[in-house]
Structure 1
Amino acid sequence: MSVHYPLQKLGSLVIQEPAYGATSRAIPRINQNQPRYIRITDFDDDGIETGHEFLTADPVDLDHKLIEYDLLFARSGATVGKTYLHEDTSEPAIFAGYCIRFRLNKYNVLPRFVYFFTKTDVYARWIAAIQRPSGQPNINKEEFKNLQIPVPPIATQTELVAAMDEARSQRKQKLSQADALLSSLDSYLLNTLGLDRPAKDNRKVFSIQCSGINGRFDPHFHAPSFKQVSRLLSTTITASLGSLVSFSKETWKLEDDESSTFRYIEISNVKPETGEARWSEVPVKEAPSRARMVVRTDDIIVSLTRPHHGSIAYLSAEFDGCIASTGFAVIRYVSKLVDRDYLWCVLRSQICLQQMLQRSSGGNYPAIIKSELENVIVPVPGMAVQKAVVTEVQNRRNEARRLRSQAEAGWQEAKRWFEEQLLGSAPL
């Protein structure tokens, strides 16, 4: 092949032998002293999203500890070959067994240079050529060590990385603009409904009359901040969620699935800031025990764990047939009194999210059960107002898609440029 710089095997660029990850089971992480457990489902082609909720490992094996600039390669499954560069060292982390850790010699090659090389088409073609498709795709450590990379001088690597960082920054800026359009819908919704944002009342000491207990004796439920929401809702037309929707009970039987992989939606796959979902392709053999709920086009999925974070998604046709975690409630039937787009928007508003928090139980991981979710009170204005809200939601979604499209086009162009600097414009 035509290259501008000498080729070196990835295995010759490390300071220690590459390592496979831990085989520990993943469990809930309840404090920041517990290490993050980095699994192949935690990162995508652009790393790990801000606000991602990590699990930890049981037991914790510090032989698999990550340090700054460790590079992980996914070695198995539908996303074999995807990479993650560990740069956030604010909390301890270890990595899981379906990843391989490469610790690079920074005097010979910049970790960020190698990371950006793994985003090129030439790397994608190498992955396609080397992986073994039988059963499920996989590439072992020795094969990754034999990956050949054009390695320019460090000064050139630094220039290339700086250019890619700038392109990535521009991409993130456009994506942030797109996210802001959707995350600001809460304020728009309250204004359209003629409701004021509930006043803050964070009193820890308060009293209530016995007549106001209504079967709930836990102080959390009667906190003044939640009462502010109730008073606000009493000024408008409302209905309980349970009177407006029905939940799906359609489940997936793992033992009946003859496929090698399935499309899985876990709670971390829904962005709390925007309510947008993604799915991860997971080997059937590695199916989490909670992968049970079949979802369909137009379903609305509501996270039952930490529901007040807003991990609530309206699923498009792309998600038809995906399998969701049992940590979601799946809304399928919706009354004619309420528009689905409007319902998705209002459920993600603080006026509903605070009610979900109020009706949750648990300490670090508050969760709500479906019967309590059904008691959440939803503002139900006339259909004209709902349609106006829906129109605004659609306009913002369309603009967000446009910005994301621009961001992706710019990023693809940057990756092509990076590859051309190393290999020239002629295809391999």
Structure 2
Amino acid sequence: MSTSINVEQRRLKYLTHEPLAYGANEAALDDNPDWPRFVRITDIHENGTLRDETFRSLSPDVAEPYLLQKGDVLFARSGATVGKTFIYRPAWGQACFAGYLIRFRSAQELVLPEFIYFFSQSDIYWRQIKLGTIQATIQNFSAEKYAELVVCLPPLNTQRLIVDYLDSETARIDGLIAEKERMLTLLEEKRAALLSRVVTRGLDTTVPLKPSGQEWLGEIPAHWGLQRLKQLAEVRGGLTLGKRYSGELLEYPYLRVANVQDGYLKLDDVLTVEVPASEAASNLLAYGDVLMNEGGDIDKLGRGCVWREEVTPCLHQNHVFAVRPHSVDSDWLALWTSTLEAKRYFESRAKRSTNLASISGSNVKELPVPLPPINEQRAIGRFLAGRHSRLENLRRELRESLRLLAERRVALITAAVNGLIPLERMLG
């Protein structure tokens, strides 16, 4: 016979050792390793750890009122990360927290901080966050709203049992998730390596090679040509917003960097703009244009795909180049710009600003393009399409498996914190 767990409902504000507190409204400018770490939303990894590469610190005198203690739980209060949580462990070293985070310090005679952290990963918690989120210019969830959250609260000794059980069970699920994510990474590396090898060396590994004259490219098949992009296509800039127009305005779909992915278009969030027809005319996309990104994250530089009039008529912003081929096949050009070698070219000529980068139209025009005979280009394209289709099927299966594991994790946590898992099961 299963032993039931008594669960009462208490608001978060009645489980605190002290009122919920906002963090320091300071700029993250320093990275002194001897100062307290300045924890921001962007530092918190999805797995609950801190990212090493984003380390920032505050001077001890500024950090002092915001220093974290063991078991402090941080709640994100604004932006797309509303509801995201983090539990502080002293192993990460002395740390303070930023203004877009809210600190919960538990009254440990009532609730374990680890229990609150697990509760914040349950469906019960996220339903309340969704219902209470204020949507203005950005999402917002204040300390006052967090204080009113209803927590399912078992007795303290049962909380410890639930935390220990979830530590063990979620670690097992997280291990499976990490393994499948590694498999996805390996598949992507395999796809990228295959693409680069075939597009720079061809399908026949026995053909003689010749120096390309480009150190970053190396050798190419002796019977291939090599020309600058400016000799093969017109590189067209896009529409710059911000101008004031008079007269009749027409509405057009408008592609941004976010829409241009590596090898495909993401069309679920296409914006529209209103401009005169005369202004739009010189920026309209044409079938066969190869879209290439001018800026954004460093890994987005130059990536692109072929425009096949998926939405027509359509404009593109000034941060997306429309490369209009006249002496090269669009599909071949799109394959070439997706190779590791082409990406190295773009990265080597990019202008960088913090974590963003951009490449000029003049540097895009100077991109060397390997040119096999047209029949060989098409054969390579068919070969890669078949291989990529098989790899994509494997990726789809892995993503579905990851989705099911994530759902299973949330369902397990939800059942446990709500007292729906029998004590015998957690003890056994």
Deviations 1:384-409 (A, max 9, x none): 21232233234323321221111111
Rounded to whole Å, the distance in 1 between the matches of 2:11 and 2:345 is 56
What TM-score, normalized to structure 2? 0.62
Rounded to whole Å, the distance in 2 between the matches of 1:306 and 1:116 is 33
Rounded to whole Å, the distance in 2 between the matches of 1:187 and 1:92 is 42
Distance 1:230-1:160 versus aligned 2 partners, 3 A rule: closer
Rounded to whole Å, the distance in 2 between the matches of 1:34 and 1:369 is 39
Aligned to 2:251: none
Rounded to whole Å, the distance in 2 between the matches of 1:101 and 1:252 is 40
Rounded to whole Å, the distance in 2 between the matches of 1:58 and 1:374 is 44
Q: How does 1:155-166 map to 2 (within 5 A)?
A: 155-166=161-172
Contact 2:32 2:56 in 1 (8 A): no
Amino acid at match of 2:402: A
Q: How does 1:49-64 map to 2 (within 5 A)?
A: 54=54, 61-62=62-63, 63-64=65-66
Unaligned runs of 5+ in 1: 197-225, 257-262, 281-293, 321-325
Deviations 1:328-381 (A, max 9, x none): 9424445373455x6565434332233234334679878643422432323344
Aligned to 1:330: 320
Asked if 1:249 corresponds to 2:220, the answer is no
Asked if 1:395 corresponds to 2:374, the answer is no
Asked if 1:384 corresponds to 2:379, the answer is yes
Contact 2:349 2:363 in 1 (8 A): yes
- Structure 2 counterpart SS, 1:187: helix
Distance 1:350-1:67 versus aligned 2 partners, 3 A rule: farther
Distance 1:229-1:139 versus aligned 2 partners, 3 A rule: closer
What TM-score, normalized to structure 1? 0.62
- Structure 2 counterpart SS, 1:413: helix
Rounded to whole Å, the distance in 2 between the matches of 1:158 and 1:350 is 45
| Alignment size in residue pairs | 363
Amino acid at match of 2:417: L
Asked if 1:420 corresponds to 2:408, the answer is no
Rounded to whole Å, the distance in 2 between the matches of 1:102 and 1:264 is 39
Q: Which of residues 338, 356, 359 is equivalent to 2:346?
A: 356
- Structure 1 counterpart SS, 2:394: helix
Q: Which of residues 193, 201, 204 is equivalent to 1:187?
A: 193
Q: Kindly name which structure, 1 or 2, has the bigger radius of gyration based on alpha carbons.
A: 2
Contact 2:301 2:347 in 1 (8 A): no
Contact 2:264 2:304 in 1 (8 A): yes
Amino acid at match of 1:176: R
Distance 1:58-1:33 versus aligned 2 partners, 3 A rule: closer
Asked if 1:75 corresponds to 2:77, the answer is yes
Contact 1:299 1:330 in 2 (8 A): no
- Structure 2 counterpart SS, 1:229: coil
Give how far 1:41 is off.
Answer: 6.1
Q: Which of residues 216, 224, 231 is equivalent to 1:229?
A: 216
Amino acid at match of 1:250: L
Contact 2:305 2:334 in 1 (8 A): no
Distance 1:315-1:33 versus aligned 2 partners, 3 A rule: farther
Aligned to 2:149: 147
Unaligned runs of 5+ in 2: 203-212, 246-254, 270-282, 312-316, 422-428
Amino acid at match of 2:219: L
Q: Which of residues 347, 361, 368 is equivalent to 2:337?
A: 347
> C-alpha root-mean-square deviation of aligned residues, in Å?
5.4
Distance 1:9-1:58 versus aligned 2 partners, 3 A rule: same
Amino acid at match of 2:397: R
Aligned to 1:21: 23
